[in-house]
């Protein structure tokens, strides 16, 4: 039985290393840019924060609904609340999944 290849996602330090080498920055400068971008995204998420070519961070309302307690099977009411979502942009979908042929 063949084992599936384990693909690891990039860590924060790997992203910083990549940004630094691609843009002729020091690692400290690249980390500062990344932290600044993240802080800005958190602050602007309520109004929608778009990363061109990647997607949009949006705040949306989730309606109240009925659910079940998985241990007892008892019906419970799940209250309405606000949630943060990320909508992947068309350019990102096309780049990752490939363009659909009609």
Question: According to the model, what pLDDT value does residue 100 have?
Answer: 73
* 63 within some domain: yes
Q: Looking at the predicted structure, is the pLDDT value of residue 87 above 90?
A: yes
77: domain CATH number?
Answer: 4.10.520.10
DSSP structure string for 24-83: T--HHHHHHHHHHHHHHHHHHGGG-EEETTTEEEEEEEE--EEEE-TTT--EEEEPPEEE
* 1 within some domain: no
Q: Looking at the predicted structure, is the pLDDT value of residue 2 above 70?
A: no
Q: Give 1-5's long-range contacts (Cβ < 8 A, gap of 24+).
A: none
* 102 within some domain: no
DSSP structure string for 81-101: EEEEEEEEPHHHHHHHH-PPP
| Bigger pLDDT: 8 vs 76 | 76
How far is it, in rounded angstroms, from Cα 17 to Cα 72?
Answer: 49
67: domain range?
12-97
* 52 within some domain: yes
The total of structural domains in the chain comes to 1
Give the pLDDT confidence of 21-71 residue by residue, as tens digits.
Answer: 999 999 999 999 999 999 999 999 999 999 999 999 999 999 999 999 999
75, 88, 91 from 72: Cα distances, Å: 9, 37, 45
């Amino acid at each position: 039985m063949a084992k599936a290849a384990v693909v690891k996602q990039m860590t924060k330090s790997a992203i910083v290393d990549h940004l630094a080498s691609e843009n002729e920055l020091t690692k400290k400068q690249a980390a500062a840019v990344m932290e600044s971008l993240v802080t800005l995204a958190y602050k602007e998420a309520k109004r929608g924060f778009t990363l061109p070519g990647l997607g949009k961070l949006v705040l949306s309302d989730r309606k109240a609904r009925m659910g079940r307690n998985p241990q007892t099977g008892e019906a419970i009411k799940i209250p309405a609340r606000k949630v943060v979502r990320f909508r992947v942009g068309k350019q990102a979908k096309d780049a990752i999944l490939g363009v659909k042929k009609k």
